[in-house]
Structure 1
């Protein structure tokens, strides 16, 4: 159901990773994977430095 609320990069992640691969995610896992997909790998480090 979450797919109808997504757009752009987030929908692309949902379409490729969730729909096509038919992976089962808990809501927490989904949001963690979505965060990793949308933001660069060093995003958290940059935010901590600020």
Structure 2
């Protein structure tokens, strides 16, 4: 859910509904992901079932 999505009257900045984690070590963690954080917005992520 992106509260800054255009459908809610926001700017539309976001992750287009999906984040893909990469097996790339970052901050002593085996996996990492790039996330676009919208201005004045809230993001909620839910992991997909395997």
Q: TM-score, normalised by structure 2?
A: 0.20
Q: TM-score, normalised by structure 1?
A: 0.20
Q: Which has the higher contact order (CA 8 A, sep 6+)?
A: 2
Structure with greater helix percent: 1
